Structure 1
C-alpha cells in the first residue's frame, strides 16, 4: 500500500474533484482554511488543502483508511456532511505552558461511502492555531486496521526540521530543504513532531494526539517523494472491537509564535476523569545520574543529593537506577528515611521491563509489568511517602506499549504517584488525560554529555531548535542546568545553561549537576534556581528562529520569567521586548553572560517604562540569559 509514488496522479484527481465539489472549514479568526475536495456523484479520491492567510501550506492528496475487510481511498463519494458547529471549551491544566486553556474551533464531520457501501467518517476541526482530524469507522469485532493513507505534501525547497525516527525519540532536528537527512541520506522514516516552513514566516508542525488503549503510535514515511510524508503505523495492524476512532492527526500552523504557544495537542486530547488532583505538585528535583552514572548504588552519594535538594529548597530528589543494589552505609529504606527527615520527597526509578532487560540492563526490573506486582510496588511506594516514579526503557510506539503506559498511569493515580516516562515516546496529549504525567524524555537531552561526545559541538543549535519542535507538544525532561562537565565537555555558556531551566517546560525539572556546582553559584543564581516554577500560567514567544536563537517568556502568578539562548557560534544580541507583557512600572533583573562562558554578569532592578521596555542583551557564542520581571 505504498502510495507515495502515486502523488502526481493523486494531485490530478484532487484537481478534478475540486471542480466537482469543494467544501471549506475556516478557523474562528478566518486565517486558516481547510478545503475538502470530494464529489458526491462518483467514486474517486478525496484530498484536502490547508491554507493560512491565502497561502497553501500543506496539500493532503490522499485521505483514508484500510482494514483487512474494507478499503477507503480512491473509491469514495461524499454521502453527506454535517452542519458546521463551533467548539468552545475552557479547561485547566496543572502542568504545561498555560494553566487556563481555551479550546475554540470550527468542526465539521464528513461521511464518505466506498464503492462497496461501507462508511467512513472524517471529523475535521480548524482552530486559530492549527488543524486536527480523525477517522471513524464502523468495524466488526477483531477487524484489523491495517493502514492509513493520510499524506502531507510540502512545496519543493521547503525548510524543515525533522528527526530520524527512533523508538526513544532521541535525535537531532537538522535543517534540510530537500527531505533528505543530511547525516543519514537513506532515512525515509521520520518522527514527530516535524516542523516545516512552507511559506516565508509561516510554519506547520505535524504530530498526533489522543492515543487511547488499542492504538499504536505513528510516524512519517517519505520514500518515493521526499516532499510527501505518509502517516505510517508503528504496528502492522490495530485490532478493533467495534466502532473504531483513530488518534487525531494534528497540524499546528501559523507564525512561530502560534507554534510555540499552541495547546492544540491537549485541546483535542481526552479530558481527565480524575477528580482528586490536589496531590499533584510540580517542582524541581535533584538528579544524581548525570554526574554519577551508578550513583544510586551508593548510599552516601544519594544522601549528598538529598542534602542538595534541602539546601536549594527543591521539593524532590530522584533516586535513579540500581537503587536495589544500594550499599555503603545504607539501603533504599535508609535513604527514604533520611529523605523524610530532610523534608524532601523522593522519586524512584524503575526499568519498564519491555525494551532493555538483559545484557547489563540496570534494575530493578519486572516489578511493574504484571498488575498484581505493580499494585504491590505502588502500595509500598505510597506507604513510604514516595512522590512518584520514573520509568525507563520502553519498547517504542506499539499498541502493547501504549496500553502498558496507560496501565502504569491509571494504577499510579490510585496511589497518588506522579509519573515520569523515560526512554519513551513523546507526549501525545496524555498530560491532559492523566495530569499526574509530569514529564517525558523523548529528547536528545543533557544526558548525552554523559553517553557520547555528540552534544559538545551541536548542543547550542540543537537547544535553539527544541523550543520550536519537541517541547511544543508537551513536557520535555531534557535535564537542563549543567554548568560543569560530565563524561564529555560542553561549550555552551553558563548563561545559556541557566536559560534552559526556563526555556524548557517540564513539570518535574531535574537539576543534574553536582552539589558543589550549585553551592558555588552566585547568590542571585541560587535564589532563582531555588524558587523557579515548573508549571506556568502563560507562555509567550518573544523572538527566535529554529537553530539560531530563542527568547521565551513564561508567567507564574504576577512574575514573568524570560529566557533567551544564542544557538550560533558567533556573538549575538538578543532582544527582550516586554511590550506585550504589560510591564510598565515594574523592574527587571537580568542574569547574562559574563566576560567568559563560565561567568555571569548580573544587572538588578532595571526600571521598565514606556520608553524603556525593549532590553537588548549581548550574548557570547552559544550564550544566553535569564530575566525576571516583578
Structure 2
C-alpha cells in the first residue's frame, strides 16, 4: 500500500556572503525543473522558477502581530534540514486516482530574530514536479496569553500583465459563489478580495494556481494587493488577506494562538497546460493520512434530491417517495431529503432531532431500504450549532440509518468557523455520517484525513439557473480550471429542460442554458464523490441520456484532461474499473474537438457516444462503434453543447 523512501541530504545549498551575513537556500524539485530560493538579504523572501522561467519574483514572508513588531524582516537561519520523500498511498475516496504518488523535496528552516525579542519561526518548503508549497510554524510568546495575528505577510510577486481568473467575493463572509473572470493582474486592487484557487497564465506553456491546503485553527486566505497603482510597474505583489475573526475589522485580529501554531500550506500549483493542474493531487498530498480506523461505511455515489430547484416544493411522503423511486430506477445509492423535514428551520425552536408531523421517518427509511436506497438529511447550520444540537442529533441519525448530512449557510471561513467545520466532521465520523457542506468555503484536501467529508459547495452552481442568467456555458467551462482545482465541487448538475440562451426564462420549471449532452458531461467532468442530481424525475426517467446516468460512478481510478482552456472548452477522460468515461463541453461557440484515444491500453473496445443534435438542445443521438488506442474521433459540439461516451474493452 505504501512505498516510502525517506532520507536526509547532507548538502543544502547555502551561501554566506560577508559582511552582510545574508543567507540563501535553494531547493529543487525531484525532476530538477522547479527551483525555490529563500534568502534574507532584504528581509525574508522566496522566489520560484520553473523550466527556466521566473514564476514568482522575490516575495515577502512573515507576519504582523498585535502589540508586537512585524516579524520576518530581520531574521537569521539557525538550522536547516533538507530531505526527500517518495511514497504512494491509496485514497479512501478516489476522487481522481486510485493510487496517489507523493514525491517531493523539503527544506525546513529554523529562524530567529537577530535582535530585540529574539522571536522564533520555522518555515517549511516542499517542491514537487508539479508545484511548490510552504507553511510557517509559530511559537508562543514569553508573556502568558495568546499571540494575535493581524496580517500574514506572504506575497506572490507576479508579472503585472499576466492573465488571471479572479473570483472577487467582495467580502470575507460569503458562500464563495461567483464567477472567475479573466483579467490582467494589474487590475487587482486594494479592495479586491479574490477567492482561491487563483489561476494565472504566465505564457502559453506556464500556468500557476495559488491556493491553500490543510487549514486547521487558522482562517482562510484571499488574494489582494496593498498598492493603489499597479499600472506603474511591471510586477504586482499579490498579498494574503486573511478572513478576520467575527467582530474584527479587516485590519483587526485574524487568528489567536498560544503555542506551536502551524499555518495552512500556501500552494502554487504548476503546469505547462491548464488541464495539468486539474489532474494534480497536490492538495490532498499536503494533508495528513486518514485518521479513521474504520472507513468501510464511507461509500461515494449519486443521489436524487427532493428540492425547491426542480419545483417539487412539497415536504410530504408522496414527494419524498417519488425521489426515492428515481434513485432506485437509476441505480443510485442515495436520496437527499431537503429542507423543512424537521419543520421551520433557522428558528430558535427548530429541533433537528424531531421530524415534521406530516412525515413518517421510519416509513420513509423502510421504503428507501426496500428500494436499495439510503437517505441523507439537509440541515441549517444555525440549527446544528445551537446549544451543540449536533451532539444529540448525530447519534440519533446513526440509529435511524441515515447515510449523511448536508449542512448549509455557514458563509464564513474565519478561524472559529474553520475549527467548527473540523468539529462537525470529526463528530459525524464518530457516528458514521458522511458530510456535504453547502454555503461553504473551498476544499483544502481534508478529504484525505477525514474521507467522510465527501464533498462541499463553495461554487456558483446549477441552483443559480433558477433565479439568474449567471450559469452560462462560459462559466461552466471555466470552473474545472479554477474552483475545481481545490477539490470536490457540489455543483448539483442535471438540469434537463435545456434551451438556447436567447430562449432562457427564469422561474419554474427551471431551465438551463446548455444542451442535454453538455449537462451529461458535467457528471464526468465535475469532481464530486457525492454527486447530487438536481432535477425532477420526469425530466430524466425514460428520456434521452437516462441510460448514460444509470449506475453513474462518482469516483475514479484515473483522470486525464485531453484538452481545453478556461472559458472555452474542456474534454476529459476518467476510468472507473473497466469502463472509461469521456465528457466534453464548449462555451457559446460551436466547435469541433479532436479526441485521441491513445490513453487506452492496447486492445479492441466498444465506444458508446451521446452527441448533440444541432439547434435542438433537449435532443441527442446515440451511436456505438469499435475503437482502439489508435482511433481519432472528431467531436462536433453545438453552441453551449457537449458530448459524452462510455468505453469498454471487448472480451
TM-score by length of 1: 0.89
The answer (yes or no) to whether the contact 2:394–2:431 under 8 Å persists in 1 is yes
Higher mean alpha-carbon deviation, 84-93 vs 69-78, is at: 69-78
Distance 1:131 1:312, change over 3 A: same
Q: Match of 2:459, SS?
A: coil
Match of 2:336 in 1: 318
Extract unaligned runs of 5+ from structure 1: 1-14, 354-365
In 1, the alpha carbon distance for the partners of 2:157 and 2:204 equals 17
Match of 1:510 in 2: 532
Match of 2:4 in 1: none
The answer (yes or no) to whether the contact 1:300–1:328 under 8 Å persists in 2 is no
Distance 1:290 1:202, change over 3 A: farther
2:87 equivalent among 74, 89, 93: 89
Extract unaligned runs of 5+ from structure 2: 1-16, 231-235, 245-252, 344-354, 499-505
Match status 1:497 vs 2:499: no
Distance 1:16 1:296, change over 3 A: farther
Deviations 1:349-390 (A, max 9, x none): 00001xxxxxxxxxxxx244444x323211221111110100
Match of 1:232 in 2: 241
Match of 2:492 in 1: 479
Q: Match of 1:374, SS?
A: helix
In 2, the alpha carbon distance for the partners of 1:178 and 1:79 equals 33
In 1, the alpha carbon distance for the partners of 2:149 and 2:465 equals 41
In 2, the alpha carbon distance for the partners of 1:155 and 1:380 equals 55
1:533 equivalent among 553, 571, 586: 553
Please give the residue correspondences for 1:432-471 in structure 2 after superposition, counting only pairs within 5 Å: 432-455=448-471, 459-471=472-484
Please give the residue correspondences for 1:130-279 in structure 2 after superposition, counting only pairs within 5 Å: 130-140=131-141, 141-165=145-169, 167-180=174-187, 187-212=191-216, 214-224=217-227, 226=230, 227-235=236-244, 236-255=253-272, 256-279=274-297
The answer (yes or no) to whether the contact 1:46–1:73 under 8 Å persists in 2 is no
Q: Match of 1:350, SS?
A: strand
Displacement, 1:603? 1.6
Displacement, 1:583? 5.0
Deviations 1:49-93 (A, max 9, x none): 111100011224211123235545563243245242102232221
Match status 1:600 vs 2:620: yes
Query: In the comparison of the two structures, how many residue pairs are matched?
Result: 587
The answer (yes or no) to whether the contact 1:18–1:37 under 8 Å persists in 2 is no
Displacement, 1:327? 7.3
In 2, the alpha carbon distance for the partners of 1:190 and 1:111 equals 31
1:25 equivalent among 24, 27, 43: 27
Deviations 1:391-441 (A, max 9, x none): 000041111111111111111111111100000111012111110111100
Q: Match of 1:579, SS?
A: coil
The answer (yes or no) to whether the contact 2:199–2:209 under 8 Å persists in 1 is yes
In 2, the alpha carbon distance for the partners of 1:379 and 1:541 equals 42
The answer (yes or no) to whether the contact 1:588–1:608 under 8 Å persists in 2 is no
Displacement, 1:329? 6.0
Match of 1:300 in 2: 318
Deviations 1:311-359 (A, max 9, x none): 1111100001111238796444433332233221100000001xxxxxx
In 2, the alpha carbon distance for the partners of 1:452 and 1:571 equals 23
Match status 1:392 vs 2:408: yes
Q: Match of 1:382, SS?
A: helix
The answer (yes or no) to whether the contact 2:324–2:368 under 8 Å persists in 1 is yes
Displacement, 1:290? 5.0
Match status 1:578 vs 2:607: no
Distance 1:579 1:619, change over 3 A: same
Displacement, 1:30? 1.5
In 1, the alpha carbon distance for the partners of 2:319 and 2:139 equals 57
Match of 1:430 in 2: 446
Q: Match of 2:196, SS?
A: strand
Displacement, 1:585? 2.1
In 1, the alpha carbon distance for the partners of 2:477 and 2:98 equals 24
In 2, the alpha carbon distance for the partners of 1:308 and 1:616 equals 34
Q: Match of 1:297, SS?
A: coil
Displacement, 1:230? 0.7
In 2, the alpha carbon distance for the partners of 1:491 and 1:143 equals 51
In 1, the alpha carbon distance for the partners of 2:450 and 2:314 equals 29
The answer (yes or no) to whether the contact 1:52–1:254 under 8 Å persists in 2 is no
1:553 equivalent among 565, 573, 579: 573
Match of 2:124 in 1: 123
In 2, the alpha carbon distance for the partners of 1:177 and 1:17 equals 41
In 2, the alpha carbon distance for the partners of 1:47 and 1:319 equals 51
Displacement, 1:584? 4.0
Higher mean alpha-carbon deviation, 58-67 vs 475-484, is at: 58-67
What is the alpha-carbon root mean square deviation over aligned residues? 2.3
2:635 equivalent among 610, 617, 627: 617
In 1, the alpha carbon distance for the partners of 2:413 and 2:164 equals 23
Higher mean alpha-carbon deviation, 18-27 vs 255-264, is at: 18-27
In 2, the alpha carbon distance for the partners of 1:368 and 1:206 equals 32
In 1, the alpha carbon distance for the partners of 2:20 and 2:617 equals 57
Match of 1:56 in 2: 54
Distance 1:418 1:92, change over 3 A: same
1:374 equivalent among 387, 390, 393: 390
The answer (yes or no) to whether the contact 1:162–1:191 under 8 Å persists in 2 is yes
In 2, the alpha carbon distance for the partners of 1:509 and 1:286 equals 9
The answer (yes or no) to whether the contact 2:163–2:184 under 8 Å persists in 1 is yes
Q: Match of 2:423, SS?
A: helix
Match status 1:104 vs 2:103: yes
Distance 1:295 1:339, change over 3 A: farther
Match of 1:357 in 2: none
Displacement, 1:594? 1.7
Deviations 1:106-145 (A, max 9, x none): 1001222223222211100000110100011221341212
Displacement, 1:21? 4.3
In 1, the alpha carbon distance for the partners of 2:19 and 2:87 equals 34
In 2, the alpha carbon distance for the partners of 1:510 and 1:18 equals 60
Displacement, 1:580? 2.9
Higher mean alpha-carbon deviation, 93-102 vs 16-25, is at: 16-25
Displacement, 1:19? 11
In 2, the alpha carbon distance for the partners of 1:71 and 1:591 equals 63
The answer (yes or no) to whether the contact 2:139–2:258 under 8 Å persists in 1 is no
In 1, the alpha carbon distance for the partners of 2:198 and 2:153 equals 18
